[in-house]
């Protein structure tokens, strides 16, 4: 029985190790669309034996495009308004296939390579970043999906906290469509998004 138990434990360990080893060290995140991908979503530039430039999709290397044949979504380039012109120095984006112009960065140019392992926490409201998970964020209970908090002094968990804020949408009246925020413990309310709601888990950019 002991041999069987050791064998099972070894198999479990190997399975966990394989899972860890198979997980890529990086992934790609799109800051415009919020999408993420394990494979590089950008076209890769290469040259044939005669020096001709072509592009291929790393997710499907059989999709090859010659210069000037790029699909519309990959045809955006970044440029800057020339000196002496209105909005001089400002960045804009031009599509070489459709001739479309945009001040907003297209999704196809918004992919960033991120580390899968190096994580930090960033506050979208204050701009603050920290290495350790902020107590304000709380934790999500896997069984119920509810958020709970841990008292940093006592180590005790609680469903209620002064960091427990809820966003409320105004449906009627002159402020319809706007949001305000209610603290479920203190019952305070504010139109400004609380700092506690600004924290997000973020991966280090490579």
Asked if residue 68 is part of any domain, the answer here is no
Residue-wise pLDDT for 41-72, tens only, equals 888 888 888 888 888 877 666 678 776 677 78
* Most distant pair of Cα atoms in the chain: their distance: 84
CB of 198 closer than 8 Å to CB of 124:
yes
Give the pair of three-digit tokens for residue 94. Answer: 């031009």
From the centroid of its chain, how far is CA 21? 23
Residue-wise pLDDT for 70-126, tens only, equals 778 888 889 999 998 988 899 999 998 889 999 999 988 888 888 888 888 989 899
- Other Cβ atoms within 10 Å of 188 Cβ, number: 12
Q: Which pLDDT belongs to residue 134?
A: 87
Question: Exposed, middle or buried: residue 202 (CB in 10 Å: 0-12, 13-18, 19+)?
Answer: middle
Asked if residue 133 is part of any domain, the answer here is yes
Q: Which domain holds residue 185?
A: 114-205
Q: Which pLDDT belongs to residue 102?
A: 93
Percent of the chain scoring above 90 in pLDDT: 20
Asked if residue 128 is part of any domain, the answer here is yes
- Other Cβ atoms within 10 Å of 165 Cβ, number: 22
What b/e string do you get for 29-49 counting C-beta neighbours within 10 Å, with b at 16 or more?
Answer: bbeeeeeeeeeebbbeeeeee
Q: Which pLDDT belongs to residue 181?
A: 94
134 or 3, higher pLDDT: 134
Asked if residue 191 is part of any domain, the answer here is yes
User: Where does the pLDDT of residue 168 fall: very low under 50, low under 70, confident under 90, or very high at 90 and above?
Assistant: very high
Q: Which pLDDT belongs to residue 8?
A: 40
5: left (phi over 0), alpha (psi -120 to 50) or beta: alpha
Asked if residue 107 is part of any domain, the answer here is no
Asked if residue 90 is part of any domain, the answer here is no
User: Where does the pLDDT of residue 151 fall: very low under 50, low under 70, confident under 90, or very high at 90 and above?
Assistant: confident
- Other Cβ atoms within 10 Å of 163 Cβ, number: 20
Asked if residue 176 is part of any domain, the answer here is yes
Give the pair of three-digit tokens for residue 161. Answer: 């906290």
Structural domain total, the chain = 1
- Other Cβ atoms within 10 Å of 78 Cβ, number: 11
Asked if residue 78 is part of any domain, the answer here is no
Provide mean pLDDT across the span 8-33. Answer: 62
The rounded distance, in Å, linking the Cα atoms of 134 and 120 is 10
Best mean pLDDT range from 141-150, 153-162, 183-192: 183-192
From the centroid of its chain, how far is CA 72? 24
What's the whole-number average pLDDT of the chain?
82
């Amino acid at each position: 029985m002991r041999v069987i138990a050791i064998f099972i434990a070894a198999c479990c360990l190997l399975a966990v190790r394989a899972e860890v080893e198979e997980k890529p060290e990086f992934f790609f995140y799109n800051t415009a669309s919020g999408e993420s991908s394990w494979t590089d979503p950008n076209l890769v530039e290469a040259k044939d034996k005669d020096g001709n430039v072509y592009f291929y999709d790393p997710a499907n290397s059989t999709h090859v495009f010659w210069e000037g044949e790029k699909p519309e979504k990959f045809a955006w380039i970044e440029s800057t308004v020339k000196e002496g012109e209105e909005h001089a120095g400002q960045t804009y984006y031009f599509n070489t296939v459709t001739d479309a112009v945009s001040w907003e960065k297209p999704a196809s140019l918004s992919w960033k390579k991120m580390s899968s392992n190096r994580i930090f926490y960033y506050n979208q409201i204050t701009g603050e970043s920290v290495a350790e998970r902020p107590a304000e964020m709380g934790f999500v209970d896997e069984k119920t999906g509810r958020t709970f908090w841990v008292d940093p002094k006592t180590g005790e968990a609680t469903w209620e906290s002064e960091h427990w804020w809820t966003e409320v949408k105004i449906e009627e009246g002159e402020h319809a469509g706007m949001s305000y925020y209610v603290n479920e413990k203190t019952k305070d309310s504010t139109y400004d998004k609380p700092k506690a709601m600004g924290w997000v888990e973020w991966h280090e950019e490579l």
